[in-house]
């Protein structure tokens, strides 16, 4: 198992991701979902109409599982509840670090343990 390349509160690592997370959170959730091979529209609608906690928890868990990052479901839930924006930025930063820019990249970029 590995660690996150960027911590939950390491939002300032990439100012583009940071600004997107703070100013356009639903758009970033959509982009993160698409990049992880999930339905971005469903995640975005859930974030806008219901609560952003559920899609953020699901996306963080998927990224953690996909990349073999150490952690637990409880960690994902707590992080999503405490600072959803930071979680969204963390996922975007991790995807950038792994070189995943589109949903086709997820299939070809398998976890590297």
Q: Which of 63, 6, 4, 53 is nearest to 25 (CA)?
A: 53
pTM of the model: 0.86
Q: pLDDT tens digit string along 44-53?
A: 999 999 888 9
Residue 88 clears pLDDT 90, i.e. is over it: yes
Question: What contacts 94, CB < 8 A, 6 or more positions away?
Answer: 4, 5, 6, 63, 67, 69
CB 21 within 8 Å of CB 89: yes
Percent of the chain whose pLDDT exceeds 90: 71
The phi-psi region of residue 72 (left if phi > 0; otherwise alpha if psi is between -120 and 50; otherwise beta) is: beta
């Amino acid at each position: 198992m590995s660690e996150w390349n960027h911590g939950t509160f390491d939002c300032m690592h990439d100012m583009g991701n940071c600004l997107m997370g703070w100013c356009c959170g639903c758009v970033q959730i959509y982009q993160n979902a698409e990049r992880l091979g999930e339905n971005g529209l469903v995640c975005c609608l859930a974030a806008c109409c219901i609560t952003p906690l559920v899609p953020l928890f699901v996306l963080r868990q998927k990224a953690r599982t996909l990349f073999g990052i150490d952690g637990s479901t409880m960690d994902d839930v707590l992080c999503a509840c405490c600072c959803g924006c930071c979680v969204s930025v963390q996922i975007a930063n991790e995807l950038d670090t792994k070189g995943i820019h589109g949903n086709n990249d997820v299939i070809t970029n398998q976890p590297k343990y």
